[in-house]
Structure 1
Amino acid sequence: MPFYYGSVKPFPRHRKLYYEGPDSADVALEATTFLKFRLLDRVRGDFNIIEVEPSRQRRGWGSDMVRALLRAYPDATWSNQSLNRQSGPMFQRLSSEFPERIAPVSRGENGRFTIGLRPIR
């Protein structure tokens, strides 16, 4: 079964609809804000890496990228490869918001995040 590897980058709201020249290109897309994922048969996905540059953290950019991915692949269920102290709380909230789409995430007594089994559809 082939895997598909991809990434999601934010698309700024102020970007022009039609390009008129190089001055209309948005340099914000070159920032270090992205979500990398792996997808198998369009139904099983893994979030591999999520990075939101410090100046954009705590503003919903990470959650919005995950929601965009859920909309792009409506039949897929998702799990995480690894979580850290920045991404753990966000994926804990998102797994509660989308329990049928994202594997549950919980925080143990030691403060580490654990990833549950992928939802079955």
Structure 2
Amino acid sequence: MGKAPKTSYVEMVERAVDKAGKGEKVSRRKIKEYIRDTWSVKIDSDSVKDSLKTVIAKEVDDGYLIQEKDSFRFSPKGKKHFVEKHGSNDEEGEEDDDDEEEEDTPSKPKKGKKAADEDTE
């Protein structure tokens, strides 16, 4: 069997901001933890630290990430870029499924049998 394709640091950082941040800002530490847990990368090595720092800085410079102190989130341009490049969260069926269920529910609550009986009296 062949090796699995190697994931780039850019993709790792983008996926970490998307998943670990869940739409909110995410700290540099959370990004590293997500990458470590998801891809079993030794984030303590100097070369990995340097690579992640470089990628994050480039993503900020390119306008894909917005930095707020030591936390990051996607800019509108970055979110669009992420969805075009990697697909949306819907493909993995994690969180967006809950939103769809809420949209399908009627806006008025249905009356229970007891409430319906009281209306007829």
User: Same fold by TM-score, threshold 0.5 exceeded?
Assistant: no
Bigger CA radius of gyration: 2
What TM-score, normalized by structure 2, do the two folds share? Answer: 0.25
Q: Is the helix fraction higher in 1 or 2?
A: 2
Q: Is the strand fraction higher in 1 or 2?
A: 1
